[in-house]
Amino acid sequence: MDELKCHCVNCSKTQYPTYLDKFRHETEVREVTRRFGTKEQIKAYLEGIEKKRGFEAMQRLRMDLLKEWGKRKGKAE
């Protein structure tokens, strides 16, 4: 089994910024669009985010989800 290695700027020549908030947020946007297919599911997820992280975090995620859906819709046409 491969050992998990840190890819931060201090530990690796192949840096991969998984520790950054930007990376976490972009990954969450992709995962939500992949996992949830209905407006109701996404709305429920966003309500949970608002309870846990606050309104601003929920609004940021919501706006980026809309952008991602727009990109995907454009590719489908």
Query: Which pLDDT belongs to residue 50?
Result: 98
Average pLDDT over residues 28-53: 94
Q: Name residues whose C-beta falls within 8 Å of residue 8's C-beta, 6 or more positions apart in sequence.
A: 15, 17, 19
Average pLDDT over residues 48-56: 97
Q: CA-CA distances (angstroms) from residue 71 to 33, 45, 66? A: 11, 21, 9
Rounded Cα distance between 19 and 73, Å, is 30
Rounded Cα distance between 34 and 53, Å, is 21
Query: Which pLDDT belongs to residue 69?
Result: 85
Residue with tokens 């407006």: 39
The pTM for the full model equals 0.72
